[in-house]
Homo-oligomer: A and B are copies of this chain.
Amino acid sequence: MPLVKMVFSSPEAAEEAFYRALQTGDLELMMGVWDEDDNISCVHPGSARLDGRAAVRQSWEQIFKSSPGMAFRLTDVSHYYDKNLAVHVLHEHIRIGRDRHHQPPVVATNVYRLTANGWRMVMHHGSATRPFSVDPTSLH
């Protein structure tokens, strides 16, 4: 556990820390970004939804252990704001390890909630993208 509790004053500050944790593989920073309440969900691209802090923590631990390092560039950010809830929709352009090429972008929906300890992430939904087409095996 971190000795100093992290307090993010805006959804943007929480988001900056989320992607910094991803880039540095810092599990404590990552879990400091998420709400301490257990009503959190995380969807890694192509994967089932993980609910609750234990499952979310375990998934990041596995990812950080096996990752050769990732660099992120974020584009196309849309915002939906209310007083205590914020939704960011964006594209993640990811470079893995020493690869100079970006993977196809991941579209991410990030949801933040204003808690007693500042803004925290409650939902991260990432999915891989390809151009839209009506695919009979994936009709919606």
B107 A126 Cβ-Cβ under 8 A: no
Size class of the contact patch on chain A: 35 or more
Known contacts A80-B85, A82-B84, A94-B140, A45 near B113 by CB under 8 Å: no
Give this chain's copy count: 2
B128 A66 Cβ-Cβ under 8 A: no
A41 B89 Cβ-Cβ under 8 A: yes
Known contacts A107-B49, A129-B47, A140-B22, A134 near B66 by CB under 8 Å: yes
* CB-CB nearest 10 A-B residue pairs: A127-B127, A82-B85, A82-B82, A47-B132, A48-B129, A49-B107, A109-B125, A66-B134, A82-B84, A85-B85
Give A residues with C-beta under 8 Å from B: 22, 39, 41, 43-51, 59, 62-63, 65-67, 70, 76, 78, 80-85, 87, 89, 91-92, 94, 96, 105-107, 109, 111, 113, 122-123, 125-136, 138-140
